[in-house]
Amino acid sequence: MSGITHCARCRGKLHIYGSADGKRRFICYNRTHGKECRQGSAFLSIYEEQIERYLETFHIPADPQEQLLAMHRKAQTSFDDAMAQRSRIETR
């Protein structure tokens, strides 16, 4: 998440910093480098829990799930065929 998330106040990148108590914090890069931002920091675990709860709301319906599995099987078969052909060519 570090470097790809942005501060809600100044849009600066958020970075993870360790603290003396061993807990990592998420804080605005601009704030830590003397630029004008008053956004407070928070423990990284808070954000991780929020993202985990958000991801738990994702549900892939049965049909797309089957389609993805079929695409995966087809890709795997193509890869296996290509590897077999490569092996035959290399043994000539």
Query: Are the beta carbons of 35 and 28 closer than 8 angstroms?
Result: no
Cα gap 11→40, rounded to integer Å: 13
Closest approach, Cβ 72 to Zn ion, in A, equals 41
Nearer to Zn ion, 32 or 78 (CB): 32
Q: Sheet harboring 14-17: ordered strands across?
A: 14-17, 25-28, 42-43
Q: Under rule CB under 5 A, which residues in 22-51 are in contact with Zn ion? A: 28, 30, 37, 39
29: nearest Cα among 17, 21, 46, 19: 17
Does 13 help bind Zn ion (rule: CB under 5 A)?
no
Q: Which among 10-18, 51-59, 62-70, 84-92 is the span making contact with Zn ion, rule CB under 5 A?
A: 10-18
Does 12 help bind Zn ion (rule: CB under 5 A)?
yes
The residues binding Zn ion (CB under 5 A) are: 7, 9-10, 12, 28, 30, 37, 39
